């Protein structure tokens, strides 16, 4: 355990200040995302919460690093960075980030005998459920852009900017490969509570696909539904943050 307020580890993005925080909220990004997307939440959550964004290689301050393509390579690096922090931590991850948060919690349990206080998963079906047999990361650039259009969540001005796409697409392709190559392995359920967030219009998390997260905890499980589709964390952000504060801090 080291400095409770700052980290020089490239895997973690912390906003300045907030030395009086009581809880680290470690946020894992969705495909193509970066840590600063979540540290912006720090101004809208109570000061007792220190928001920490996980920063994967290939973006923002790590732009010139090669993106990872295997979750098994990412998790030990993120887990080691988190283990070096003081304060209790809760994990939040959206979409790809939910898988990363889940596997990081399991890695820390195996290697350190510790657990987050809460695991909050968002916009992702339970990890043991069979995923569609597809290799989207092998699509060419035009197909990837069309996928982005269908998925939503990417501003039209980005989709129409060839220079921005030149930076975005390699990172997105690598992040999609993280999901495409993910292989769930059985382990005992976690002892920490799990909360699952989803948009009512998101087909990824319909019905049992979301509730199946309950199999991965021996503690409390709760589900929270929000107006919107897969990107409800943006369209219903105020509602999400109110719920996140309650779930993480109680």
- Give yes or no for residue 133 having a pLDDT over 80: no
Give the DSSP per-residue string, 214-235.
Answer: GGGBSS-EEEEEESSSTTHHHH
Q: Sign of the CA dihedral 100, 101, 102, 105?
A: positive
Query: Domain 12-131+184-249 is classified in which CATH homologous superfamily?
Result: Alpha/Beta hydrolase fold, catalytic domain (3.40.50.1820)
pLDDT tens per residue across span 183-219: 999 999 999 999 999 999 998 898 899 999 999 999 9
Break the chain into its structural domains and give their ranges. Answer: 12-131+184-249
Q: Which residues pair with 119 in a beta bridge?
A: 91, 194
pLDDT tens per residue across span 54-67: 999 999 889 899 99
Q: Return phi, psi of residue 152, to 5°.
A: 75, 180
Residues 69 and 81: their CA atoms lie apart, in Å, by 19
Residues 13 and 51: their CA atoms lie apart, in Å, by 9
Nearest-5° Cα angle at 113, 194 to 190: 20
pLDDT tens per residue across span 9-60: 899 998 766 777 899 999 999 998 899 889 889 889 998 999 999 999 999 8
Q: Which residues are catalytic?
A: 95
141 close to 169: Cβ distance less than 8 angstroms: yes
Q: Judge if pTM exceeds 0.85.
A: yes
Q: Where does the chain have alpha helices with state H?
A: 36-39, 71-83, 96-112, 141-151, 156-159, 162-180, 208-211, 232-235, 237-249
């Amino acid at each position: 355990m080291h400095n409770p307020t700052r980290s020089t580890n490239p895997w973690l993005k912390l906003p300045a200040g907030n030395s009086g925080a009581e809880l680290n909220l470690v946020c894992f990004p969705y495909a193509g995302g970066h840590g600063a997307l979540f540290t912006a939440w720090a101004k809208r959550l109570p000061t007792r919460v220190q928001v920490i964004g996980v920063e994967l290689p290939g973006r923002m301050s790590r732009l010139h690093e090669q993106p990872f393509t295997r979750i098994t390579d990412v998790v030990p690096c993120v887990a080691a960075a988190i283990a070096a922090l003081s304060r209790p931590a809760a994990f939040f991850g959206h979409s790809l980030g939910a898988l990363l948060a889940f596997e990081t919690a399991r890695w820390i349990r195996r290697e350190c005998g510790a657990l987050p206080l809460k695991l909050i998963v968002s916009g992702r079906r339970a990890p043991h459920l069979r995923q569609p047999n597809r290799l989207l990361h092998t699509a060419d650039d035009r197909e990837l852009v069309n996928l982005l259009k269908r998925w939503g969540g990417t501003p039209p001005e980005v989709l129409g900017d060839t220079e921005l796409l030149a930076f975005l697409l390699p990172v997105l392709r690598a992040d999609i490969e993280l999901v495409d190559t993910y292989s769930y392995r059985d382990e005992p359920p976690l002892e920490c509570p799990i909360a699952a967030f989803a948009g009512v219009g998101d087909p990824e998390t319909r019905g049992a696909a979301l509730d199946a997260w309950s199999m991965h905890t021996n503690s409390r499980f709760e589900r929270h539904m929000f107006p919107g589709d897969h990107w409800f964390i943006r369209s219903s952000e105020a509602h999400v943050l109110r719920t996140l504060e309650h779930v993480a801090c109680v």
